[in-house]
């Protein structure tokens, strides 16, 4: 189980064999601490919108009908808000805090629409680490290529890192040969 330590008078969590993104701010590579920041950047495509709709069933005409969307306040098709917030999940689950992160809570405010072709940067910044358990609070924002905030929020996650040396991998061929021996 992941434990919180007090380092330099502040709560921190040791990260086993962790690799950070090249886009991250400089930070200690082996410790998660308040102020750590990570990002994930992606350009929204029509394919992303179609795949999201296929996975969720959300076929709202704002996302698929150009004529309908052109008569709206947005004047064109927009991406699903929850598709965009999925980029926050990517940061949390793969970069910071990274693998071993489980969502507990997420607040969101949708500030501006996202259009096909917009490049969105999801940013997560550690704002709090609970001293008695590995609960981490992060500011979570999405910003478009113009520097406009399209989503702002806050996430609370629990961190349960598993050290790579604690993982044993059994390849499919090995598993089947093991079963044949018994």
Q: Where are the domains of the chain?
A: 4-181
CATH topology of domain 4-181: Thiol Ester Dehydrase; Chain A (3.10.129)
Question: What is the enclosing helix (H) or strand (E) of 138?
Answer: strand 135-143
Task: Report in angstroms the alpha-carbon separations of 81 from 38, 58, 151, 162.
Answer: 21, 11, 8, 32
Mean pLDDT by runs of 10 across the 182 residues of the chain is 71 60 51 89 94 93 90 93 95 87 96 96 95 93 96 95 60 59 52
Give residue 24's pLDDT.
Answer: 47
Please tell me the distance from the alpha carbon of residue 113 to that of residue 79, in angstroms, as a whole number: 8
How many C-beta atoms lie closer than 10 Å to residue 28's C-beta? 13
pTM for the whole thing? 0.79
Q: Which two tokens stand for residue 31?
A: 């410790």
- What pLDDT score was predicted for residue 168? 58
């Amino acid at each position: 189980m992941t434990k919180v330590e007090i380092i330099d008078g502040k709560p921190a969590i040791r990260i086993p064999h962790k690799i950070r993104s090249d886009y991250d701010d400089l930070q200690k590579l082996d410790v998660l601490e308040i102020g750590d920041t990570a990002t994930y950047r992606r350009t929204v495509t029509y394919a992303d919108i179609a795949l999201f709709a296929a996975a969720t069933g959300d076929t709202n005409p704002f996302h698929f009908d150009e004529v309908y969307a052109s008569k709206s306040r947005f004047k064109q098709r927009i991406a699903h808000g929850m598709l965009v917030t999925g980029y926050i999940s990517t940061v949390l689950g793969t970069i910071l805090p990274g693998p071993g992160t489980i969502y507990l809570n997420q607040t969101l405010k949708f500030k501006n629409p996202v259009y096909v072709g917009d490049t969105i940067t999801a940013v997560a910044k550690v704002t709090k680490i609970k001293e008695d358990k590995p609960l981490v609070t992060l500011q979570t924002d999405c910003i478009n290529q113009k520097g406009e905030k399209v989503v702002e929020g806050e996430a609370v996650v629990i961190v349960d890192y598993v050290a790579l040396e604690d993982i044993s991998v059994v390849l499919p061929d090995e598993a089947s040969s093991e079963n044949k021996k018994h």
